Amino acid sequence: MGTEGEDGRVVAGRYRLRTRLGRGGMGVVWRAYDDLLGRHVAVKEIPLDLDETSPAEEARHVRARALREARAVAQLHHPHIVVVHDVVEDGERPYLVMELLEGGSLADRIAEHGPVDAVEAARIGIALLGALATAHEAGVLHRDLKPANVLLDATGDRFVLTDFGIAQVAGAATLTESGAFVGSPEYTAPERMSGARSGPKSDLWSLGALLCTALSGESPFHRDSLGGILHAVVTDEIRPPAEAAPLLPLIRGLLERDPERRLDAAQAEGMLRVFLDTGRTPPSPAERAALTAALEAAGSARRLLVTALLVAATAGAGVSAAALLVNGGLDGLADGGGTATTPATTSMSAAGPPANSLPPAPTSAPSGYRVADDPAGFSLAVPVSFTRRPQGERVFYLSPGQTIRLGVKSAAPQEGGPLGVLRRAAANGPATNPGYRDGRVTATTRHGLPAAHWEFTSDGATTAGGALRTYDLCWEEGGRMYDVWVTAPVGQAREAKEFFDVAVDTFTRT
């Protein structure tokens, strides 16, 4: 052995190990030199997890299994899968000889330069989806997809999936099949966590978590303990980061706990390509199916118009389910009889609606909601059981028991616009919201107008105890600044988020 991180060995008579590039549970990777072909390569030394007391027969079995899996991975050919040049044995230990990539890992890039934007995340997603599809077609599951296992070339433009060290090959026992869990918990699908049989869609869940990390810098399942991570993956509310908003339908489709409802690779790639073409992510097939069912339940009087809206949504128009469920919105689009096609086409274009083209006030509401024509000068849909309670310049709509609070505020525009307002509020969060944590403020738009989104967790006093989750959207419209938010116990956050989305989608000045 040489100095720290160096090695003097020559493997299989030709691969000279030089600098250690990294170490993980699946082995040590070395920068090496191929003396025969005169080129630099990466050599992965595969551990056998055997000690001196292990029977010779067991050692032979483990080596044969490791080589079988390594050779299966070596047969995968895709521009975004690392190239395996050779699989060799030396001293009864298997080695993989691979192409050497000089750009580091995606994890390194995020740590050094921060998260990527939605367009770059889409490029990463398409590259990895192609790699996974190739592996899955060959019967190979990766099982450890995470930023550290995505390498970049020297230009940073090529993303390469590597480290199939715990891959599962169809029809073969796996190298790590010892009854112990393998993989990275923050990126592991819930069906694997619970011990159920995994399949290709388990890798797609991992891709969803990876894209969240690329966009925000942290996995949505990151917690301070392994137990916390397991709970977050298997049972806790899934909260994609605010930075994932441009790709939210895709992220939700990948982070679907039921593998049967989870997006497959072709569906996910199609959604990402629509986003790159239009700047908007279309609804997932499951979202479109739910929307269609809801509209059919509401009646078929406007079937042709609904079909047109669904086509627009599929094309990436970003039409929300809550907005389409409001019959008043459909009525507004249909005004003028035979001229309905023109305004519908304009408002649903890929470029988004004109900044001064605002929806009409809703005249009816989705099932379970009612239209509240508030004397404060606005109209929106709220749950039928909610009651109005004004508090100064704020108006609240409260659930029975007041566990969920939907608030609305109208004020004059302030310095810095919506983003500045919410950033200042977030900076003051610990003082105004006891136990303030997990706060995120991001810039966005509403109907083409400047807006900002804020969400956070706190330990407020509006319930008998326990943590609260708040979702808040602030925007400028018609010379006023509007703020709509909802606060609810964490256990009711999913329900509250629906109330929030419907309120924002149906909100109109009166």
Element (H, E) at 396: strand 394-398
Residues 273 and 137 placed together within one structural domain of the fold = yes
Residues 335 and 259 placed together within one structural domain of the fold = no
Residues 249 and 177 placed together within one structural domain of the fold = yes
- As averages over each run of 10 residues, the pLDDT of the chain (510 residues) reads 56 91 73 92 76 61 67 82 86 84 90 94 95 90 90 86 64 42 80 84 96 95 90 90 93 94 93 91 82 60 50 44 38 33 31 42 69 93 93 92 93 93 93 89 87 89 68 93 94 86 90
The answer to whether position 2 is within a domain reads: no
Residues 111 and 258 placed together within one structural domain of the fold = yes
Residues 113 and 255 placed together within one structural domain of the fold = yes
What domain range includes position 266? Answer: 106-281
Q: What is the pTM of this model?
A: 0.57
The answer to whether position 358 is within a domain reads: no
Residues 312 and 434 placed together within one structural domain of the fold = no
Residues 300 and 430 placed together within one structural domain of the fold = no
Residues 119 and 178 placed together within one structural domain of the fold = yes
Supply the CATH number for residue 236's domain. 1.10.510.10
Q: How far apart are CA 269 and CA 123, in angstroms?
A: 10
Domain boundary among 252, 281, 310: 281
Residues 314 and 399 placed together within one structural domain of the fold = no
Domain boundary among 281, 304, 336: 281
Q: How far apart are CA 423 and CA 446, in angstroms?
A: 18
Residue-level pLDDT at 115:
95
Q: Are 87 and 65 in contact (CB under 8 A)?
A: no
The answer to whether position 432 is within a domain reads: yes
Q: Indicate which residue of 7, 144, 483, 505 is catalytic.
A: 144
Q: Is 49 a catalytic residue?
A: no
Where helices occur in 279-416 by DSSP H, the ranges are 285-298, 303-312, 321-325, 327-334, 341-347
Q: Are 279 and 273 in contact (CB under 8 A)?
A: no
Residues 157 and 271 placed together within one structural domain of the fold = yes
Residues 322 and 377 placed together within one structural domain of the fold = no
The answer to whether position 422 is within a domain reads: yes
Q: Are 488 and 468 in contact (CB under 8 A)?
A: yes
Residue-level pLDDT at 307:
52
Cα angle value 318/323/327 (rounded, 5°): 140
Residues 274 and 204 placed together within one structural domain of the fold = yes
Supply the CATH number for residue 433's domain. 3.40.1000.10
Number of domains in the chain: 4
Q: Are 421 and 414 in contact (CB under 8 A)?
A: yes
